[in-house]
Amino acid sequence: MLFRRFLGLPPSDSPVRDPEPGTGPRRIEPPSAPTGETATVRRIVARLEALPPERARYLASFAYVMSRAAEADLEISDEETALMERFVVELGGIDEAQAVLVVQMAKLQARMQGATEDFLVTQEFARLATDEQKLAVLRCCFAVGAADNSISATEASVVNEIARELDVSREQLNAVRAEFLEQLSAIQAMRRLNEPG
């Protein structure tokens, strides 16, 4: 799969059919490209594949980490998707069409994969990113969580876990979180309790 190739992860095994009596296992052939696949998509994929491998891995892991944060509440909204695409364009240095494809692939992988993959991809991002880029992805994660004007406790917890896996200090994490203080659901709930009347 293109996304796993970007990340430098081993390909997932193809499913195996039950063997016929007296024969060994047979691999299921991957489906051919859908007839509706457009030339535009093929051109975008070709441009992504033409990126230097380290750059492609950085972009793929960056988008995946954001998707992981967005998926914390088990739903990735259109607003969250639009923000992730914008961040990939602005911080990843690719055009909008490429960013859409990268984000869609990352969202699909984040929905399908489990905690092990989350950890592995975040570790890959940590290996490739500078300290500044690690803080930038945390800002992006908080911003994506705040797309609906409220960062839930679950979303904040996932970003905290990402920060630990990126080896970001508690002080650095707290400084980034403070930028989103008004969107934290716990703060919003406290403010509502303290409102008069």
Task: Round to whole Å and give the CA distance between 169 and 49.
Answer: 34
- Number of domains composing the chain: 1
State pLDDT tens for residues 2-30: 556 656 666 655 444 444 455 444 444 44
Task: Fill in the amino acid letter for 76.
Answer: I
Higher pLDDT, 192 or 57: 57
Proportion of the chain above pLDDT 70, given as a percent: 77
Q: Rounded CA gap, 116 and 122, in Å?
A: 10
Mean pLDDT value across the chain: 82
| pLDDT at residue 125 greater than cutoff 70 | yes
- Alpha-carbon distance 169 to 171, whole Å? 5
Could you tell me if residue 22 is inside a domain? no
Q: Which residues contact 130 (CB under 8 A, 6 or more apart)?
A: none
Does residue 71 lie within any of the structural domains?
A: yes
Question: Domain containing 103: what range?
Answer: 38-194
Domain-located, residue 134? yes
Q: Is the pLDDT of residue 153 over 60?
A: yes
Compute the C-alpha angle 40/42/47, nearest 5°: 95
pLDDT digits (tens, 9 = 90+) for 74-95: 999 999 999 999 999 999 999 9
What's at 37, amino acid-wise?
E
Please check whether residue 169 lies inside any domain of the structure. Answer: yes
